[in-house]
Amino acid sequence: MKKSKDFRREPLTDTQLLMTITICIFVGMYLLAMLIFKGGFLHAQQVFDMLNDNASLIIVSCGLTVVMIGRGIDISVGAVTSFVVMSCVLYLNKGGSLFVSVLIALGIGLAFGIVQGFLISYLEIQPFIVTLAGMFFARGMTTILSVNPQKAAHEGFAKLRETKIVIPWLGYIAKNGKLVPARVELGVVVALCCLLAVFLLLMFHRLGRALYAIGGNPSSALMLGINVKRTRFLSYVISGLLSGISGFVFMMHTGAANATNAAGMEMNAIASSIIGGTLLTGGVGNVIGTFFGTMTLTTIKKIVVSSGLNAPWWQSITTGGMLCFFILLQSVVLSQRARKKKA
């Protein structure tokens, strides 16, 4: 008789553990909302609406997660998104090409990523200071382009914006007895593609492994032969590129530009990343967790509105409370985990 092999489960990494906690909290919170409020929470369209409204935030949060894993921060992403939206809308209204407007969005995002990444990585200026300057610069440029709101009047863009993926079998029967099919915007598809691309980059590419190593211990990463400066530089380039994509997706959702567009998006992106299990100290994080962090943040806002607290400050209060809760939870979980390892 052959002896059966002893299969031992490997313990979850810190990234996997925090991501699992976030997913469980999101599922529990949404199920609770379905039981208490019912209404829209019972329809699949509610989830799709959350995705439609937050597609650009998901993209930006993915870029911020990449930067934060490598012990960085980028608070210019919201302003860059706004700058991209205004630039593309004005260009399209002058009869420009839809394809060229996409290139403009990518070019602006890359330009910010390259400049900020160079200043932070090679000149070793503090990330917060550099990206703060980038935020002010992008907001200023947006205002210079136009102070007044601008609506995209391009025929090709209007057709692109109106195109939606229809899923009839996930629809619901309205009060008038008609079937209302579920609808998903193209921006959601772009966001999920960006999410998948960043996930594969972090999990299976050498750059992703280098980022985790740098976030864990930059000195050790340098001793292992990792080019720390180049890796950090590339993380900001990725964040800038995703900000450019986010701007175009934001424009596809709203169809208009305003100097105050995407105001506070950088804070929501940071909150989504932290709730998703990304640590500000670096080395721990995953974009799948960030995605569920965004959905958790959106769900709690929906619950607040469904409770009758429509004033905007209630959403800010609950966002702050959720962020504090998850930071405290992460600290407790990781400290207990460290004690067990020592024991």
Distances (CA, A) of 210 to 31, 180, 308, 315, 343: 38, 47, 47, 37, 30
Q: Give the CATH fold of the 14-24+37-303+311-327 domain.
A: ABC transporter involved in vitamin B12 uptake, BtuC (1.10.3470)
If you ran DSSP here, which 8-state letter would residue 113 be given? H
Q: Report residue 2's pLDDT band, with 50, 70 and 90 as the boundaries.
A: very low
Helix (H) or strand (E) holding 303: helix 287-306
Q: Does 316 or 258 have the greater pLDDT score?
A: 258
Q: What are phi and psi of 262, to 5 degrees?
A: 60, 25
pLDDT in the model for residue 9: 61
Structure confidence at residue 6 as a pLDDT band (50, 70, 90) = very low
In this predicted structure, which of 51-55, 148-152, 229-233, 289-293 has the lowest mean pLDDT?
Answer: 148-152
Predicted pLDDT at 36: 84
Residues paired with 165 in a beta bridge: 184
Q: For residues 315 and 317, what is the distance between their CA atoms, to the nearest angstrom?
A: 5
Strand segments, DSSP code E, in 21-89 are none
How sure is the predictor about 10, in pLDDT bands with cuts at 50, 70 and 90? low
pLDDT computed for residue 4 by the predictor? 47
pLDDT of residue 192: 96
- On whether the CB atoms of residues 66 and 290 are closer than 8 A, the answer is no
For residue 11, give both structure tokens. Answer: 């313990």
* pLDDT single digits (tens) 117-170: 999 999 999 999 999 999 999 999 999 999 888 998 888 899 999 988 888 777
Whether the pTM exceeds 0.75: the reply is yes
- Segment of 24-28, 63-67, 167-171, 332-336 carrying the highest mean pLDDT: 63-67
Cβ neighbourhood burial of 220 (10 Å; 0-12, 13-18, 19+): exposed
* Segments making up each domain of the chain, as ranges: 14-24+37-303+311-327
Q: Residues 59, 246: contact at Cβ < 8 Å?
A: yes
Mean pLDDT of 196-213: 95
Tokens of 113: 């990523």
Pick from 87-101, 279-293, 306-320: least confident: 306-320
